[in-house]
């Protein structure tokens, strides 16, 4: 999740391999259904690496272990494959 310490610096959004980060009404937001904490893509959460104000903690309602995150990653990849190339 992104807290209201976010300064809208825009650097995290392009780093997300799952396109889970979008600009919300006030600050950037993470779609928890798309966030795998970068499992499947990278060893560490890329948004957290780049955020200059360290405002991206794990959402307390989405405490997922590596296996759950990997299953989510696989689901997201299967969804992607199902979308015809445009
Ligand atoms: S942890 Fe990774 S997947 Fe989750 S929002 Fe950040 S960059 Fe995207
Ligand atoms: S990197 Fe941090 S401060 Fe910058 S937009 Fe993302 S969450 Fe906000």
Ligand 2 binding pocket mutation candidate from 51, 54, 56 (most atoms within 8 A of CB): 51
Ordered alpha helix ranges (H), the chain: 46-50, 66-82
User: Given this model, what pLDDT does residue 7 score?
Assistant: 98
Please give the Cα distance from 37 to 68 (Å, whole number). Answer: 11
Burial (Cβ within 10 Å: 0-12, 13-18, ≥19) of residue 62: middle
CA-wise closest residue to 29 among 37, 17, 21: 21
pLDDT given for residue 86 in this prediction: 54
pLDDT of residue 57: 98
> Is there a contact between 24 and 38 (Cβ–Cβ < 8 Å)?
no
Residue 51: CB within 6 Å of ligand 2?
yes
Q: What is the pLDDT of residue 82?
A: 83
Mean pLDDT in consecutive groups of 10 residues from the start of the chain, 86 residues: 98 98 98 98 98 98 97 96 68
> Which amino acids bring their CB within 6 angstroms of ligand 1?
15-16, 18, 20-21, 30, 35-38, 45-47
């Amino acid at each position: 999740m992104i807290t209201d310490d976010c300064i809208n610096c825009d650097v995290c959004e392009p780093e997300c391999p799952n396109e889970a980060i979008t600009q919300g009404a006030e600050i950037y937001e993470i779609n928890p259904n798309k966030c795998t904490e970068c499992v499947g893509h990278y060893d560490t959460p890329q948004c957290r690496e780049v955020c200059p104000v360290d405002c991206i903690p794990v959402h307390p309602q989405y405490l997922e272990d590596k296996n759950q995150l990997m299953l989510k990653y696989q689901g997201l990849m299967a969804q992607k494959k199902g979308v015809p190339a445009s």
